[in-house]
């Protein structure tokens, strides 16, 4: 930080010296009375040149310094300008149910996904800096280490630090609480007048965006394992059944490049880890494979736990490959939806979104489409719950909260 500040001061002194040199009167003009008329014309040209040069120097100085150190003309560069110059939106955040989840490479979360959507609209990438508590994240924003903060900090704390914030629900807090999310998830900025803050407000409170925010909140529902029965059933199953199959999950995960706990979450969603499970439609085993899928994956015995887990792992890997053009953060949700309803169904939705100019590689947009059309297609509702449940089970397994 000292080096950055020194560069800022040195650059400012250098700019001042160059400006002083440009503004210094010409000795030839001051000492020669016989050239008065030509001098007047020269002065006009010189004034124009000086103004142009001064603007150039000021622009170079403004763009070359970090936002937190820049005080040229006593005006701090807006965070928006810094973000657009660097093509990066840096956020300070505290991990949590309503902000973001990042364990073993599974980086996602309600607040985080909203930030990614905002960054996409700005045409920049996201860099996330994690902090242990709300105050640390807000002070990082205040000091210029971040462009905005994603927290559930109190209004009192933000006021004490003289920061401005926007609730991501844009006042519709009930849409968050009904999904078990914190009602005061907010984006915080150094100034309400910064275009970064103003554009964020328009982004969050736009009627279409607000509707999609509420749908995204449903995907990140935190209430699935909150009731006593669900908690007890999940805990009992993992305690009593998982030890018999854990080595199979771990080995097949290595074989097909998966996180083994993701496969466990899928197994619980499919059969509650019951190797002999059979559905009315004829799917069987821990991973509930259809007869056709089992044959295609080389599975001869669907109720054999090792084969079933291997078949499911191999099929999931194929789904991930089918959606390799989707950003990694969202790819697993696409793959899970395809595992449940078939890859062609998901790609069909993508084509419809793309035709409307909507980003078809954003899971938030796919989920919104499923939600909007579930009444006319029951498979859409099933896929929504399938992916949401696995996400919830995975987070619970990794955080050991049950």
Contact status, residue 185 vs residue 152, Cβ threshold 8 Å = yes
Tokens encoding 72 = 């040229």
Dist CA 295 CA 293 (whole Å): 5
For the chain, how long is the longest CA-to-CA vector?
A: 109
| 33 is annotated as an active-site residue | no
Q: How many CB atoms lie within 10 A of CB 326?
A: 21
Out of 68, 134, 261, 270, the active site residue is 270
Contact status, residue 166 vs residue 98, Cβ threshold 8 Å = no
Dist CA 293 CA 315 (whole Å): 8
Dist CA 3 CA 362 (whole Å): 40
The CA-atom distances, in angstroms, between 290 and each of 48, 178, 278, 293, 343 are 78, 36, 10, 5, 15
Q: How many CB atoms lie within 10 A of CB 324?
A: 10
Strand 164-167 with 106-108, pairing:
unpaired
| Residues that are catalytic | 270
């Amino acid at each position: 930080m000292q080096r950055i500040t020194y560069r800022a001061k040195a650059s400012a002194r250098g700019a001042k010296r160059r400006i002083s040199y440009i503004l210094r009167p010409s000795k030839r003009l001051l000492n020669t009375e016989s050239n008065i008329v030509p001098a007047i014309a020269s002065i006009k040209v010189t004034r124009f040149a000086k103004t142009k040069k001064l603007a150039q120097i000021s622009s170079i100085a403004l763009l070359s310094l970090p936002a937190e150190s820049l005080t040229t003309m006593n005006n701090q560069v807006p965070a928006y300008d810094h973000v657009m110059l660097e093509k990066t939106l840096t956020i300070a955040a505290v991990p949590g149910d309503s902000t973001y989840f990042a364990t073993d490479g599974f980086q996602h979360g309600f607040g985080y996904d909203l930030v990614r959507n905002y960054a996409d609209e700005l045409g920049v990438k996201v860099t996330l800096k994690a902090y242990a508590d709300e105050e640390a994240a807000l002070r990082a924003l205040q000091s210029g280490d971040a462009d905005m903060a994603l927290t559930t900090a109190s209004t009192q704390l933000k006021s004490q630090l003289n920061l401005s914030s926007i609730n991501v629900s844009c006042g519709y807090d009930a849409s968050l609480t009904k999904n078990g999310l914190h009602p005061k998830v907010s984006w915080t900025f150094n100034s309400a007048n910064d275009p970064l803050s103003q554009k964020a407000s328009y982004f969050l409170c736009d009627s279409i965006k607000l509707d999609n925010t509420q749908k995204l909140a449903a995907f990140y529902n935190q209430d699935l394992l909150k009731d006593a029965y669900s908690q007890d059933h999940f805990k009992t199953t993992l305690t009593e059944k998982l030890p018999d199959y854990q080595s199979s999950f771990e080995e097949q995960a290595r074989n097909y490049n998966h996180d083994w706990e993701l496969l466990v979450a899928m197994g619980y969603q499919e059969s509650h880890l019951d190797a002999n499970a059979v559905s009315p439609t004829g799917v069987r085993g821990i991973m509930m494979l259809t007869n056709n899928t089992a044959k295609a994956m080389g599975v001869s015995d669907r109720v054999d736990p090792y084969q079933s887990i291997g078949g499911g792992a191999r099929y999931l890997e194929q789904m991930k490959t089918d959606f390799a053009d989707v950003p990694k953060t969202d790819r697993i949700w696409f793959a899970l939806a395809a595992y449940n309803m078939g890859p062609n169904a998901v790609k069909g939705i993508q084509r419809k979104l793309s035709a409307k100019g909507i980003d078809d590689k954003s899971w938030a947009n796919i989920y919104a489409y499923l939600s909007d059309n579930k009444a006319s297609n029951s498979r859409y509702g099933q896929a929504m719950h399938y992916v949401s449940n696995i996400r919830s089970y995975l987070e619970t397994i990794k955080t050991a909260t049950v």
